[in-house]
Structure 1
């Protein structure tokens, strides 16, 4: 028997029999909106890097928070769809601008950090998304409590570190945060599927969850790479 004669059915790779057709259509809308967010956020980050607006970090954070609250308060319907997509685009743009100070720092240390961090984040996000899509329904929903507990622990340690100023604790928070966000990609993806199966078709708000997961992953991976690069330069 020649093992090289076996044919691979690539169509089977894209079959999600445990997800209903209507939910699969919903997921297509979610990821199309996610792609839009990524493009607009990249434009926002580029604007900051070019203009070097010093107060952009604080102002964009307040602006993106305001738009997110506005988006949350606007009910999902066919009549409000265009308005909510505009709010989503504005939120993504200001989120990209808010990444500006961290991007400036990484560019000053080593510009190659940015493409490395982005590619790494894209690979991590894709792998964990596919794991959630191919896994049985609800199989990762148990992570919700664990992840929220970990987030609370990280918040407390970050607040405590304001007084201690421990570099080790700061680094531990970064690496732990990276692991926690990987878990959130699994959890949020399956939660979106479950909500859609139960009739919640608000693809715009579901997109926000995934977009925030990606941005947080990117920020943490970027800071880890920048920190390691800085340590290398010190040793030299």
Structure 2
């Protein structure tokens, strides 16, 4: 047991956090471009949320438009990156509008949840993505099969709850399981992007889209969990006030 902890301490020293020798200069430049594009997509998504709050545009149509935008990004050749970048930003705006109702609900309930949830998601994303970057190449690619299996379980649970109805315990299980799965996808997708870049796939638009979907999936689940916990606390406080 002591040897285990000594090994872990040695592999996670401060020097190891600065060690990017396994990642070539071209891949490092690619990663910087990917994360810059990701940040731009998040800003565009925030604009989509704001548009929903102003004009109430979020709904099924924006969700379908988001899926169409993803299809355009994936099917447009990399030689037309300007067009693909425009598709990505449009997709991000439509995604923001689609989750706008959740943000509007949280703003009416407690705006502090939004700030805490976004900061928490950003920290979690930075930690998991950073862990994938500083780890050995292909170390976490084995997670792909496990995550796919977990996502399949999540899909069939959602399908069953749609047909037979969902209980509170099943909803909570789906919520936390989905959060764990998409946190795992952050690690897996980051290492897969690095590996693809080493083999010449420098499609930063597609890679930014992958990380964008991971970020939004984690953010939504964290916000729902925080909103649910905050609502339960308020109910308990109201019950105590009535008893007293």
- Give yes or no for TM over 0.5: yes
Partner of 1:103: 103
Map 1:18-97 → 2, pairs under 5 A: 18-53=22-57, 56-77=58-79, 80-97=80-97
| Maintained 8 Å contact 2:34/2:204 | yes
Deviations along 1:23-71, one digit per CA (max 9) or x if unpaired, are: 1111111011111101111111111112233xx2211111111111111
Deviation of the 1:12 alpha carbon:
7.4
Deviation of the 1:108 alpha carbon:
2.8
What RMSD, in angstroms, separates the aligned Cα atoms of the two structures? 1.4
Map 1:84-163 → 2, pairs under 5 A: 84-162=84-162, 163=164
Q: For residues 211 and 174 of structure 1, what CA distance do their matches in structure 2 show?
A: 19
3-state secondary structure, aligned to 1:235 = helix
Q: For structure 1, which segment, 30-39 or 103-112, has the greater mean C-alpha deviation from structure 2 after superposition?
A: 103-112
Partner of 1:4: none
| Maintained 8 Å contact 2:193/2:207 | yes
Partner of 2:203: 202
Deviation of the 1:120 alpha carbon:
0.7
Deviation of the 1:161 alpha carbon:
1.9
What TM-score do the two structures reach when normalised by structure 1?
A: 0.91
Deviation of the 1:15 alpha carbon:
3.9
Map 1:3-22 → 2, pairs under 5 A: 13-22=17-26
| Maintained 8 Å contact 2:17/2:134 | no
Deviations along 1:167-211, one digit per CA (max 9) or x if unpaired, are: 100011111111111100000000000000011111100000000
Unpaired stretches in structure 2, ≥5 consecutive residues: 1-13, 238-244
Q: How many residues are paired up?
A: 223
Deviation of the 1:13 alpha carbon:
4.3
Q: Does 1:214 align with 2:197?
A: no
Deviation of the 1:117 alpha carbon:
0.8
Q: For residues 30 and 193 of structure 2, what CA distance do their matches in structure 1 show?
A: 9
Deviations along 1:77-98, one digit per CA (max 9) or x if unpaired, are: 2xx1211111111111111111
Map 1:155-174 → 2, pairs under 5 A: 155-162=155-162, 163-174=164-175
What TM-score do the two structures reach when normalised by structure 2?
A: 0.88
Rate the CA distance shift 1:132–1:12 in 2: closer, same or farther, 3 A. closer
Q: For residues 19 and 37 of structure 2, what CA distance do their matches in structure 1 show?
A: 22
Q: For residues 184 and 137 of structure 1, what CA distance do their matches in structure 2 show?
A: 16
| Maintained 8 Å contact 2:16/2:134 | no
Partner of 2:6: none
Q: For residues 174 and 26 of structure 1, what CA distance do their matches in structure 2 show?
A: 33
